[in-house]
């Protein structure tokens, strides 16, 4: 029982620290591997904004040991309404793990309407499928 309480406390503190990291930044991502049930560290992620007829690069990052990037939006820039694209470079991730994949990149396009909200994009990943949604 004591071990369970310690584990739950650690998980709660981890979640709180992740929220604290994301509090000052309008965008975070999280990648989980559905095949093994574990976070996906080392996934390269890029952020782009749709400007005119082109995607303009804004930022890039690599998921940490929990499969997260808590602050993906550039520090010196204010988020504006519009369309954004987060691209998860999953091919490199699976190659490092010695696995094949059908999706070498997973682009997730989303629209920002309220710039005062935090946007969180979780990616549930497997070698031959994926799912995403707007997280909190």
Instruction: List binding-site positions for substrate.
Output: 30, 68, 133
The residues near 1 (Cβ < 8 Å, ≥ 6 apart) are none
Cα–Cα distance, 70 to 81 (Å, whole number): 20
Cα–Cα distance, 107 to 20 (Å, whole number): 26
Tell me the chain's radius of gyration from C-alpha atoms: 16
Residue 77: how many CB atoms within 10 A of its CB? 11
Cα–Cα distance, 51 to 17 (Å, whole number): 33
Known binding residues are: 30, 68, 133
Give the largest Cα separation in the chain, rounded: 58
Of the candidates 136, 128, 125, the residue with the CA atom closest to the CA atom of residue 37: 125
């Amino acid at each position: 029982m004591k071990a369970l309480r310690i584990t739950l406390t650690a998980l709660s503190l981890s979640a709180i620290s992740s929220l604290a990291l994301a509090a000052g930044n309008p965008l975070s991502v999280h990648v989980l591997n559905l095949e093994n049930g574990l976070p996906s560290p080392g996934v390269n992620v890029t952020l782009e904004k749709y400007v005119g007829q082109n995607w303009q690069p804004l930022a890039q990052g690599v998921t940490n040991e929990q499969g997260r990037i808590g602050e993906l939006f550039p520090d010196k820039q204010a988020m504006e309404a519009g369309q954004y694209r987060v691209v998860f470079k999953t091919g490199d991730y699976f190659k490092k793990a010695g696995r094949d994949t059908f999706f070498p990149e997973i682009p997730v396009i989303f629209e920002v309407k309220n710039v005062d909200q935090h946007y969180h994009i979780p990616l549930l990943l497997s070698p031959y499928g994926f799912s995403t949604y707007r997280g909190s």
